[in-house]
Amino acid sequence: MTISILRTADDWWVHTPSGAARIATPATTTGELLADRAAIQAAIGSSETVPVENLDLVSPITVPCRVVAQMTNFASHARDAGMDPRKIPLTFFRKSSGSISGPYDDVVRPGHVRFLDYEAEIGLVMGRETPVGTEINDETIAHYVVGLVITNDVSARDLQLPKTQFYESKSYPSFTPTGPTLVLFDDEDWKRFGELRLRLWVNGEIRQDMTVADMIYLPVEALRALTRFQHLSPGDLVLTGTPVGTALTAPPKPVGLIANLLPPAAKWRLFFKAQGRNPKYLKSGDVIEIAISTDDGKVDLGRQGTMVREAR
């Protein structure tokens, strides 16, 4: 059975059927909390609760931590970008943990960014030290990945694409809204991972709606590759890719072939001129909502809601 963890500025909470029960723990980081299972279990049985809506929730993932993300990892997203899903390599990039923000905080667009995009993603939360060389398989993944969380991999496309600069374009403060809930998984819960559905709305309009069944590389395969070279610690976050429906769209193949014959500066000038006619990029005042759950609601990561604003 899943356990839903919430966090406020000063306390950790368990979301129970009667409300939020405070966890009596000295933990100040996600990693420390995950090590205090006795306190979590005690809170589950507590009769002293408060309404969840009365809590001012912050990200359940504390910083600093490692944030690692998979590149193109949904078949629908690959096809939309003009790529063959069967030929997509398993690749990763890093984000600054300074980009992590709360589930209801504003997404702040820097003044020099024109093409701001959204990406609903499932975040894997590590629960144990995972040294380089750790063997992860279907039987052991629940030993290392303790839970899941909603993330939004916000991206400045006009920085990312011309410079192939993922780190900068995805690492500005507020570019990884996380939460509201850290859902702790066990072995049985993992059997339902493939049923999770990612949905994202902008101003009430559905933009992304796809299940994990569309993933190219599932977490076991991704972590098996990642731990060949990357040490992971409790509280670290691994993002698993986004489905079709982002604002970014690839040009028709004939146009792309012609553009590739141009000097890079000219190619990108034409590309972003075309993207400038795309109304789906985020604007100040836009409201982004993300929900991830199984269709029957028995596994539910909650619902995130953020608003875009300009940097002051």
| Contacts of 237 by beta carbon, 8 Å cutoff, 6+ apart | 61, 65, 66, 67, 68, 97, 100, 123, 124, 125, 126, 149, 151, 178
Binned at pLDDT 50, 70 and 90, residue 96 comes out as very high
Rounded Cα–Cα distance for residues 6 and 23 (Å)? 10
Q: Give the angle 168-147-95 at the CA atoms, nearest 5°.
A: 5
Binned at pLDDT 50, 70 and 90, residue 15 comes out as very high
- Which pLDDT score, from 0 to 100, does residue 249 have? 78
Q: DSSP 3-state helix, strand, coil percentages of the chain (rounded to 5)? A: 25, 30, 45
- Which pLDDT score, from 0 to 100, does residue 251 have? 52
Mean pLDDT computed over 5-33: 97
Tell me the pairing of strands 19-23 and 12-16: antiparallel
Mean pLDDT computed over 31-52: 96
pLDDT higher at 212 or 187: 212
- Which pLDDT score, from 0 to 100, does residue 116 have? 97
Residues above pLDDT 90, as percent of the chain? 84
274: left (phi over 0), alpha (psi -120 to 50) or beta: alpha
What are the pLDDT digits (tens) for 255-311?
343 345 445 666 667 777 878 889 999 999 999 999 999 999 999 999 999 999 999
Bridge partners of 107, per DSSP, are 308
Q: How many residues comprise the chain? A: 312
- Identify the CA nearest to 103 among candidates 56, 48, 166: 56
What are the pLDDT digits (tens) for 203-246?
999 999 999 999 999 999 999 999 999 999 999 999 999 999 99
The domain spans of the chain are: 1-57, 59-246+281-310
Is the pLDDT at 38 greater than 60, yes or no?
A: yes
Q: pTM for the whole thing?
A: 0.94
- Which pLDDT score, from 0 to 100, does residue 129 have? 97
Structure-derived torsion over alpha carbons of residues 70, 71, 77, 79, reported in degrees to the nearest 10: -130
Rounded Cα–Cα distance for residues 299 and 193 (Å)? 9
CATH number for the segment(s) 59-246+281-310 = 3.90.850.10
